[in-house]
Structure 1
Amino acid sequence: MTIRPERPDDAAAIRAVHLAAFPSPAEADLVELIRASDGFVPDLSLVAEDPDGGIVGHILLSHVGIAGSPDPVLALAPMAVVPERQRQGIGSALTRAALDAAEARDEPLVIVLGHPWFYPRFGFRPASRYGIFPPAATWPDAAFMAKPLTTWRSDLKGRVLYPPAFGRLT
Structure 2
Amino acid sequence: MSKEKEKKLLGEERRQWLLDYLKSSSDPVTGTALAKMSNVSRQVIVGDITLLKARNEPIIATSQGYLYMRLENQPLVEKIIACRHNRSQAEQELNIIVDHGVTVKDVTVEHPVYGDLTASIMVSNRKDVQAFLKSIRKTNASLLSELTSGLHLHTLTAIDKQLILNAEKDLKAAGILVEED
Q: So what's the TM-score if we normalise by structure 1? A: 0.29
Give the structure with the larger helix fraction: 2
Give the structure with the larger strand fraction: 1
